[in-house]
Amino acid sequence: MTRVPLLAACLLLSGFAPAQARPARAPATAKPALPALHTRIERIRSAFPGEMAVYMRNLSTGDELALDADSVYETFSVIKLAIAAEVLHQAQSQKLSLSQRVPLHPSDRRLPSGVLYTLDPGLQPTIKDLLTLMIIISDNEATDLLADKAGRENITRYAHSLGLRKTEIRYSDLDWDRTWLGSLDAAYRHASGDQTVRFPFDKYSGAQVEQAFGRTIYDAGIFFGHSSARDIGRLLQLAVEGRLVSPQASKLLLDIMARQQVNDRFPKYLEDVRSAHKTGDGQPFIANDAGVLWVNGQPIVLVVFTGHHRGATAPLHDAIARVAALVVHFYGGKTSLELQP
């Protein structure tokens, strides 16, 4: 789930501190081989007004860095990688076809991000089209259509079969929207998709909308995706190694991810670095990024999850971008930040 266009327009960026914060996490540890990188990333984490998990694995050298990487976080749209994995799994087993066309109906509309909710009913994109839109612009209508078709229990089951034991999807984007909007207006607790996109946000202050959004994340007992940074890192490693369903499916997913349009995190400071990544947003409380960075021919898996952020969205994104810049710099890649060797 990504709410970039909507929240930018409707929410204040001052941050909302939830009433019940989670207990402090155990100190992070790192492999002795990476003390310099560990120290620099820990400086970012220690100054970060919230929680941050980082998982990094250089698939050429075997170097691994895991900072709070086994704790379960709300993924928001990063869970769409797990949805994609099961869609490709079902395509491989011929339970569905990537060329199958899916008619769009008014009730399929979902709140932004994405573009499908703005288009006229009757469009018939293929499943591959929906997969592409779900990843590169995080389209929420495409997401629910694919998750409904693949089955959320199947998505979770396949993730577990890959060893991603902390990865789970249970609720739809529409479930989440009904909960969030219903906390502002009870009439929306059972709204259809086309009703949610017409929600009268102008009746509420930015603070009211932001507080309702934050409370839905932390207090409503609903989530869009749950996973750990290590789990998503494992999914990405399987894709790079050609073992996420099949070599062809792995390549297709990475090719789609390389066309990502939301590039305000990992790629922000990188120069001449190829990347394939997927963001997730519940701003200003949560922003995530997960992907593969190719640095001097080395594929490096990187996942950054955040939670309980207290502050504005811009520095939240920047903290994630700086983690990616530190990793790239450590392996000899170019960045626009002035970093010492």
Tally of CB atoms within 10 A around 149: 18
Per-residue pLDDT tens for 91-114? 999 999 999 999 999 999 999 989
Question: What are the boundaries of each domain within the chain?
Answer: 4-335
In this prediction, residue 1 has a pLDDT band, given cuts at 50, 70 and 90, of low
The answer to whether the peptide bond before residue 267 is cis (omega within 30 degrees of 0) is no
- Where does the chain show beta strands of DSSP type E? 51-58, 64-67, 73-74, 226-227, 270-271, 274-282, 286-295, 298-307, 334-335
- The radius of gyration of the chain from alpha carbons, rounded to an integer in Å, stands at 19
**Which region holds residue 279: left if phi is over 0, alpha if psi is between -120 and 50, else beta?**
beta
Residues 282 and 308: their CA atoms lie apart, in Å, by: 10
Average pLDDT, stretch 3-23? 40
Q: Which CATH code, of 3.10.180.10, 3.40.47.10, 3.40.50.300, 3.40.710.10, is assigned to 4-335?
A: 3.40.710.10
Residues 183 and 68: their CA atoms lie apart, in Å, by: 32
pLDDT the model gives residue 121: 87
> What backbone phi and psi angles, to 5 degrees, belong to 274?
-75, 135
Diameter of the chain measured on Cα atoms? 57
Strand 270-271 relative to strand 226-227: parallel, antiparallel, unpaired? unpaired
Distance of CA 134 to the CA centre of its chain: 11
Average pLDDT, stretch 183-197? 97
pLDDT the model gives residue 97: 98
Q: What pTM value is reported for the model?
A: 0.91
Per-residue pLDDT tens for 48-80? 999 999 999 999 999 999 999 999 999 999 999
**Does the pLDDT value for residue 340 go beyond 90?**
no
Instruction: Take residue 102 and report the two structure tokens written for it.
Output: 């899916």
